[in-house]
Amino acid sequence: MTSTLSMPSDTILTVQSDIISTIVSSDINTSSTIVSATQGPPGAAVNDVFAFTADSTTNQQVIDTFAYTAYGGAKYIIYATVGATRQVCEILLLHDGVNVNVVEYANIVTSIPLCTFVGDILNANVRLLITPTVISTNFKIIRTLLPS
């Protein structure tokens, strides 16, 4: 069973089988904390849902990470909003332990694209990186990890 609770300071906690874990996204250029987001328990091979708000710049930012030894790839559905402007897309991410390939498809926008995506590996983690085109873009993300 999964329950999502809204908490103060834009923190969202997801409870799965009485396990709570939180990830913190950061701005790549300044290393400042952007917002807390949820991630399922380590080793979970189920959909994880979390929220993310880009900071007050359009710098590239880490939106998700996972251990590259545990998962060979991921599928994301990403919904981005700023005011009345909306974007929804699906992302497939695949890695070989060295290189990360990201394919964006089924991309729909109401007026202008709100973000672009790339992936990389840093230390033992695969990262999905986002570059917002508008500051303070809000994201809702569904992630499915694909075990190695």
Query: 13 in a domain, yes or no?
Result: no
Q: What is the pLDDT of residue 44?
A: 40
**Mean pLDDT lowest for which of 40-44, 51-55, 106-110, 117-121?**
40-44
- Domain coverage including residue 72: 44-147
Query: 82 in a domain, yes or no?
Result: yes
Q: What's the alpha-carbon Rg for the chain, to the nearest Å?
A: 15
**How many angstroms separate the CA atoms of 71 and 56, rounded?**
32
Q: Please report, for residues 45, 94, 137, the alpha-carbon distance to residue 126 in angstroms, rounded to integers and kept in the order given.
A: 16, 9, 23
State whether residue 32 is helix, strand or coil: coil
**What are the contacts of 96-99 at 24+ separation with CB within 8 A?**
97/68, 97/121
Count the domains in the chain: 1
Query: 22 in a domain, yes or no?
Result: no
pLDDT digits (tens, 9 = 90+) for 36-51: 343 433 434 446 778 8
CATH number of the domain to which 104 belongs:
2.60.40.1680
Query: 110 in a domain, yes or no?
Result: yes
pLDDT digits (tens, 9 = 90+) for 136-147: 899 999 999 998
Query: 50 in a domain, yes or no?
Result: yes
Query: 76 in a domain, yes or no?
Result: yes
